[in-house]
Amino acid sequence: MDADQNLLKYDLQIDEQGQTHLKETAMWAKFIAIVGIILSVFLCFAAFFMGALLSRFSTNPYGRSGSAAALSAGFITVFYLIIAVVFFFISLYLYRFATKMKQALQTADQLSLNQSFQNIKVYFRILGIITVLYVGLIGLSILIGIIGVATR
């Protein structure tokens, strides 16, 4: 799309079919967001449970704890908590999109419509950043694997 091309110039509007699609999208987005928030809370509990479980297994029969095992238990707890927080905020932005879109469609409120689009923009931005990081991590892993095999 060219920079000088403006969608408002063409007087685009949300017709009945578009409104139906947006209403159904908001309904499913709200469902997915609520499930995501619940799963992020469970992930927080799992973070502390897994950390406690690993630290319990890190003790040897003589009652001394292994520092490496305790360190890895703490790392896993922090790692799970980071994932849970990120997942919570992703779900929160999706939930805000759904509620603002539903409100905008019911009241024909332009501000709510703009806020819903802003929330879905942030949602996709966060997912895009996570995707770039994930693909970069995979590429780095492949590169390290190739270097490891080549140096044998």
Residue 95 lies in a domain: yes
Q: Is residue 8 a part of any domain in this protein? A: no
CA distance 31 to 10: 34
Which tokens go with 48? 């502390």
Tell whether 1 is covered by a domain.
no
> Residue 53 sits in which domain range?
17-150
Say how many domains are in the chain: 1
List pLDDT tens digits, range 64-123: 555 666 667 778 888 899 999 999 999 999 999 999 999 999 999 999 999 999 999 999
Whether 4 is in a domain gets the answer no
At 55-75, the pLDDT tens digits run 666 655 555 555 666 667 778
Cβ proximity of 99 and 29 under 8 Å:
no
138 within a domain of the structure (yes/no):
yes
**How confident is the model over 2-40, as pLDDT tens digits?**
555 666 667 778 889 999 999 999 999 999 999 999 999
For the chain, how many residues are written? Answer: 152
Whole-angstrom Cα distance, residue 24 to residue 21? 5
**Residue 11 belongs to a domain:** no
- Indicate whether 10 belongs to any domain: no
Prediction pTM value: 0.80
Taking only the tens place, the pLDDT of each residue in 30-57 is 999 999 999 999 999 998 888 777 766 6
